[in-house]
Structures are given as structure tokens and as C-alpha cells.
Structure 1
Amino acid sequence: MGVLAAHSVMEAVGTQESMMQAVRSTRPGGHIGFVGMSHDVEIPGGRLFVGLVHLHGGPAPVRRYLPELIQLVLDRKVDPGKVFTKQLLLEDAAEAYRLMDQREEVKVLLWP
């Protein structure tokens, strides 16, 4: 039996490890979509070429969806899941950005 892999993979963390996981998880001829700004990510062109993997990316229009999504999270209608590695109060937003910038945390959830 062959290795199972996905036809379409979304990468939205922006680290070398998350991009490589996306590449390894994509079947030959499959597609990787990435959003947002990657940080010091080196994409293995040879692996994409040999695997016939398509790579598509661009900015995420966060401001378009943010107000509605924040309200859904605050109302506990949407569970943001395991994407967030830390939670801080909104007043600690500067620290949250520092932690993410220094790669001490992947994503920080800010609460009012």
C-alpha cells in the first residue's frame, strides 16, 4: 500500500517546520496554499518539482473577516482550537506580538 497524502494542504503558521509538514503531507500533483507572511522559510524547489506539487500563496485579508470571527470566538460559538499556544489579556498585546516575533509562541489569543 502506498503512502497516503492530501490533495490540498493549507499552511498558515509561517515557520520552516510548518511549511515542511505541508510539503510532506501533499500527494504528487497536489496543492499547498499558504497565507500570511512566512518567516525565514526556505522552500525545497527540487522536492516540489519532483513531487509535482503546486504552491500558491498570498496575503490573508484578515481585516475583512476579523470583527465577525472575534465575536464568534467571544460568544464561544467557534473554538479557535490548538492554533493558539498561549492566551493573554488584550492589554498585553505588545507582549503577545513580541512572543510571536521571537518565535517563543506560535499564535497568542488575546482576551478582553
Structure 2
Amino acid sequence: MLIIKALTKMFEDWGEDIDDFYITYNIDIGPSEINGASDMFSFELIRPKRLARMTGQGDIIIGHGHFIARDFNEIILEATLNRIINKCVDDDMNKAYKNLSAFSLGDGRIINNIPGNQNYI
């Protein structure tokens, strides 16, 4: 079974207001049966206000790797990540990792919650 082995905050910017955050995480996911074995993925937790500010000058932000949150709550974040991981469960660990890759880009960024999505490199 795959589990979260580490969830590490790599960068955080809280802007001028509490509702203007942008946080980058690395998450290590690996089999519960093997100590130390994991694959690392990265994603950004972002508030809609910050997202609007980032696109304010006509920029386009590809939504891959962004979790958009109303409030900062690490308990809800971790529960969401666990739900994604639980959707990837398979008796064959290689298939479980393949299922997990459907949520990510080639550089490991989690992108969505649709099992079988082929939007990865």
C-alpha cells in the first residue's frame, strides 16, 4: 500500500493578506512495507486571490500542479492527498505507481483526481 512518507513545505509566500498565499510542497509517497523507499512529487497550494493576481497581466497559468484552496489547512490538504493515493491502490505495486502517475506530470507534479488520465509525460 502506498502512503505519504513526508510532506515538506519548500517555499511559502503569504503576500500582504492572510487570503493571499502561495505554498510549494514536496511529497514523498512510497510503499508502507519498505522503509525509506519513496517517489517525490511537488505541487503548489494557492489561494484564488493569489491566482488572480498571478494572471492579472494576461498571463496564462497551466493548472497542473496547483491545488486551489479557500483556506490554509494542512489537515484538509493531507486528507485530500490521502484520498488521491487511495484511488491508486493496486495489489501490484508497479500498477499502483502507474495509477499515481496519472495524477502527475513527468516532473512529479500532482495534477488532478481522474484515474486513468493520460495527461502525463
**TM-score bin, normalised by smaller chain:** under 0.3
Greater relative CO (CA pairs within 8 A, separation 6+):
2
Give TM-score scaled by structure 1 length.
0.26
* Structure with greater Cα Rg: 1
